[in-house]
Amino acid sequence: MLALIPYPKINPVLIDIGPLPIRWYALAYIAGIIFGWAYVRHLVGKDSLWGKVRHPSPASIDDLVVYVAFGIILGGRIGYVLFYNLPVYLAHPLEILAVWKGGMSFHGGLIGAMLGIILFARRIKVPVLAVMDPTAASVPIGLALGRLANFIKPELWGRPTDVPWAMIFPGSDGQPRHPSQLYEAGLEGVALFLILALAVRLGALKRPGLTTGLFALGYGTARIICEFFREPDAQLGFLFGGATMGMLLSLPLILAGLALILYAARSKTA
């Protein structure tokens, strides 16, 4: 007989303040940005990690978080509209603004954050990769919190399975499914954060682009692995050969990561 782990029913709304509900989903984004800001500030404040690479000052990171936050929110929403549900939003354009209903794309948020980083780096006149590298090292913090929020909501659950830790998610078809949100929190979040933290301690920031390349390669690989356990979006389903949209969007990340790692390896150590 299949052993199931009961889904822990957690109210997606942490607290109601009058007409304003405070949701775990929103808190995950806020906490991810705050903790990421603190971690980036810590990294840029340790000159021993950088060698002679010119990098931002800790004080300037207070401005960076504004650029990145707007990039994540705008890029994440626009990316979801374009990549995952364009026909629906073309028919109901006002729904694009209803971000409290969910619907954010990591890949879109990543593009938005990168544009914010480029604008910030140009404003303070430091190399773009010197801003992108510590930011990339902090991204898994937000990824872990965001996937936990997906689990609490619940959304983005896994494919049907008979593993002993399967769960029946509220709102699903009643089949036991992989808790794929937790797989993603572990791989894309905790594991990737530890790998990047180790790389930074071993001198990755002294080679501009290496940390960003490791992040792109690591995230793209982890996301593709998790997609084998995650139910594809209902409006898209499987595309071709069993591939999902998440897999296809992660392939360019892997290629970009490999290119950046090669670039960093061939450049002179600062």
Per-residue pLDDT tens over the stretch 16-62: 776 777 778 788 888 998 999 999 999 999 999 999 999 999 999 99
In a domain, 15, yes or no: no
Q: pLDDT band at residue 2, thresholds of 50, 70 and 90?
A: low
Find out whether 177 and 232 touch, Cβ atoms under 8 Å: no
State both tokens at 162. 């008979």
Find out whether 112 and 71 touch, Cβ atoms under 8 Å: yes
Find out whether 168 and 176 touch, Cβ atoms under 8 Å: yes
In a domain, 148, yes or no: yes
**CA 268/CA 270 separation, integer angstroms:** 6
In a domain, 12, yes or no: no
Prediction pTM value: 0.87
In a domain, 1, yes or no: no
Does residue 270 sit in helix, strand or coil?
A: coil
In a domain, 32, yes or no: yes
Task: Give the number of domains in the chain.
Answer: 1
Residue (of 137, 142, 139, 258) closest to 197 by Cα position: 137
List strand residue ranges (DSSP E) for 77-194, in order.
none
In a domain, 44, yes or no: yes
State both tokens at 236. 């898209």
Give tens-digit pLDDT for 194-251: 999 999 999 999 999 999 999 999 999 999 999 999 999 877 788 888 899 889 989 9
In a domain, 11, yes or no: no
**CA 169/CA 148 separation, integer angstroms:** 14
Where is the binding site, in residues? 147
In a domain, 2, yes or no: no
**CA 183/CA 190 separation, integer angstroms:** 10
Question: Which structural domain, as residue segments, surrounds residue 129?
Answer: 21-266
